[in-house]
Amino acid sequence: MAERFRGRRALVTGASRGIGAAIAERLAAEGADVAITARTLDRHDHLAGSLRETQARLERYGAQVAIVVADLTDEADRRRIVPDAVDALGGPIEILVNNAAAAIYANVAEFPARRRNIIFTINVYAPLELAQAVIPAMRDVGEGWIVNLSSATTDLWHGPPFKVGFLGTTHTIYGASKAALNRTTNGLAVELYGTGIRVNTVQPVSAVVSEGAVELVGEFLRPEQIESMEEMVESVVALCDCAEDVTGRIAVSRELLAEWQLRVHNLDGTPQ
């Protein structure tokens, strides 16, 4: 098993289940100490997974694991996530993975203001604020990795006529928030170029079947629209360990794997 993240400290948001939990496991399997944050400490009211379960998975690799229970819609919670993670892990965060996302689907013309605010707070403002919180320490040591997870819903429809698919336009606001995240990623990378801090975004080709995705659109997904959890995680961890000149990219998972000729590994770090 590789040890490329040995001695590194990572923070992964949305790590109680799904892609976030899988990323956290892969980082721990390759030697990182990991702070995991989400709202669900022990049990969600209808989704499988919790921070306690993720912690147990990570500790099997001998990793130091810090749990930070937080609600990204709460400003006070957002402010304390990084300080709490730093205190618990005993040093500054070197790898930040902004995975947490709010996906609420509804027609654009009737989209409620409260739900719009939740989506943009969690998908845009929280990743930026967490990045701002880790940047000073990264700048001090001259290196750091920030990886934001985006979505294929940023793609535009061209027409008329428009081919919008089975979801119609209901994921427009979610996609708009991810487009804003992509733009923020790119701008932050431009500002930080030369400091050793890499800032990148990666998105799945279409969908990864996580607990949340199944809840939202699972019944509509076709096999060709799905990529494995391991493929998505492989592309994310590649950007957690990329060279200094790899920054400002808006990458698509499978395209990145092909470009870099990366072999996909299991979540425990062993080759498939």
Q: Is 193 a catalytic residue?
A: no
Question: Widest CA span of the chain, in angstroms?
Answer: 56
Residue 86 is given by DSSP the state H
Catalytic residue among 61, 105, 125, 174: 174
Q: Are 51 and 15 in contact (CB under 8 A)?
A: yes
Pairing mode of beta strands 33-38, 9-13: parallel
Distance (Å, whole) CA 84 – CA 93: 11
44: left (phi over 0), alpha (psi -120 to 50) or beta: beta
Q: Are 202 and 251 in contact (CB under 8 A)?
A: yes
Q: How far is CA 125 from CA 79, 109, 171, 269, in A?
A: 12, 23, 19, 32
Q: Where in the sequence numbering do the catalytic residues fall? A: 174
